Amino acid sequence: MGMRGSRRANGAKAEGVTALDLGARDALDPQMQAYFAKCMEKLGFVPNVLEAHAFAQRKLKAFVAMADELMLGDSGLSKLEREMIAVAVSAINHCHYCLTAHGAALRQRGQDPELGERVAHNYRSADLPARHEAMLDFAVKLTEAPDKIVEADRRALRSAGFRDRDIWDIAAVAAFYNMSNRLAAATDMRPNHQYHYLARTADSAPAGPQVRAINRRPATLAAARRRRV
């Protein structure tokens, strides 16, 4: 599944994920089948960015390996901080997919239903700690004017408490989402509608049960969107 109006191998019509006709989903090996099953278990759905890459398993595996290492691997940055970078960069690039998906992840990581919107709209007015403002200042400058990065920018991060390996990770996460934002824009990649409803209240349920409830709703929004395409 990687295009609007496509059909899965079993003939069932699939909701569009990108504007490109990329062919049918590649045959997934047991590792990737297990990965998709884990997404269903934890989230209640398979993120569309994975479905979009699934026309070629080697591309899917490369994307998953890089994303998981950057966002979940060992780092001096917390998982929350990495999601903040993803959202701030995606806001600069006006990336609908990543703002929606990582805005939800940021709300969940921070256990704060407002945090994703505050960072997405204007992190400078979000009352963030100085450490996080310095981190996002660097990520945004790297996004908007990479040729203007100078030693003073790295020095500002060190003054905020980041080590040099942390600076590498800030840059790597920012660079990855600049790439992902551009790929999503080029292909008109659409986020799963379930992301819009995740962690919207202070006492939100865990993702899996919450999304399974959303999945049972009539797909009126999806139907309306298909009519517009």
- Whether 16 is covered by a domain: the verdict is no
CATH code of the domain containing 147: 1.20.1290.10
Residues shown for the chain: 229
Report pLDDT digits (tens) over 156-172.
999 999 999 999 999 99
Asked whether residue 66 carries a pLDDT value surpassing 80, the answer given is yes
Q: Would you give the distance in Å from CA 69 to the centre of its chain?
A: 14
Band (pLDDT 50/70/90 cuts) for residue 112 is confident
Q: Domain total for the chain?
A: 1
Are 77 and 47 a contacting pair, CB within 8 Å? no
- Whether 89 is covered by a domain: the verdict is yes
Q: SS3 for 25?
A: coil
Torsion angle (degrees, nearest 10) of CA 207, 108, 99, 140: -150
Q: Tell me what pLDDT residue 114 has.
A: 87
DSSP assignment string, 27-58: PPPHHHHHHHHHHHHHHSS--HHHHHHTTSHH
- Whether 8 is covered by a domain: the verdict is no
Gap between the Cα atoms of 218 and 161, Å rounded: 48
In degrees, rounded to 5, the angle at the alpha carbon of residue 120 between the alpha carbons of residues 211 and 214 is: 10
pTM: 0.83
- Whether 108 is covered by a domain: the verdict is yes
- Whether 201 is covered by a domain: the verdict is yes
**Domain boundaries, position 200:** 77-228
